[in-house]
Amino acid sequence: MVERRVSKVIVIFFIILAVAVSIFPFIWMLANSFMSEDQIFALPLKFWPDKLFKKGMWDNYVEAFSNFSFGRYTWNSFFVSFLAALGQIIVCPMAAFAFAKMRFHGRRAIYTLLLMTLMIPVQVIIIPEYYLMMKLGWLNSYLPLIIPSFLAGAFGTFMFISVFEAIPSVLLDAAVIDGASAYKILWRVYFPQATASVATLFIIAFMNNWNDLLRPLLYVIKPSLFTVTMGLTRFQNQYTTKWGLVLTGSVISVLPLIIVYIFCQRYIIENQMSSGVKG
């Protein structure tokens, strides 16, 4: 009992350490969003925001939302990222189930190709991709941001293959004996088993699309369609950067991600409980 308590204390100590080490840039960013421009890079370093709880505290936020329509950009980013992530959690398990549990001609070849696409940095294919989108007539729309992410989710497919492989075949055999169709086995048996991974993939896909800058810059031209990351570029030109607003914008752009993370987190936990009950 004592040993248990000691180990719990150690665990808590390390968790708090990890949290402290992880969270300070965000705290710094947050603090800086309440500082005047000259304080951000002041020497010696200023930790305490000079405008906190004083007049003008929300100046940066007011400017970001009123003069730079950050509300609009946040909504746009949410729309794009949500659809792209939604697509991935539907399409990826389908493909992964086929790859992990079925045999068909060309399985290995297609799988290898898919994996290959995973290792390509965006800078490598962006120019040919831009021409492709131009030929498709998709420039100046969200389609290039959503459809490829929707359809070509190599990461998610790869992730679900490893998840489905880890699920005991007993489940499959039992379902087959019950006479369930392949689709039913996927959606009713395997998919529910992988809730934690579905939530994880949703977080990752959402985050990747949310933080993408290069593609939105190339494909979205209309200011009313700008995403949050594009909004951040509005605080700088080639000669100068408004750091206060950049950091404020960064805080604004991170908040929805935290909400999505915490929301998805529930499912990661729930899965644990439900499998516990079943066991």
Q: How many residues does the chain have?
A: 279
d(CA 149, CA 206): 10
Cis amide prior to 44 (ω within 30 degrees): yes
Q: From the CB of 55, what's the least distance to other proteins, in Å?
A: 16
For every residue of 185-199, DSSP letters joined together read IIIIIIHHHTHHHHH
Spatial CA neighbour of 92 closest among 20, 142, 149: 149
Q: Rounded to the nearest whole angstrom, what is the least distance from the CB of residue 52 to other proteins in the complex?
A: 18
C-beta of residue 97 within 8 angstroms of C-beta of residue 275: no
Smallest distance, other proteins to C-beta of residue 97, A: 6
Cα–Cα distance, 142 to 83 (Å, whole number): 10
Least distance to other proteins, CB of residue 58, Å:
19
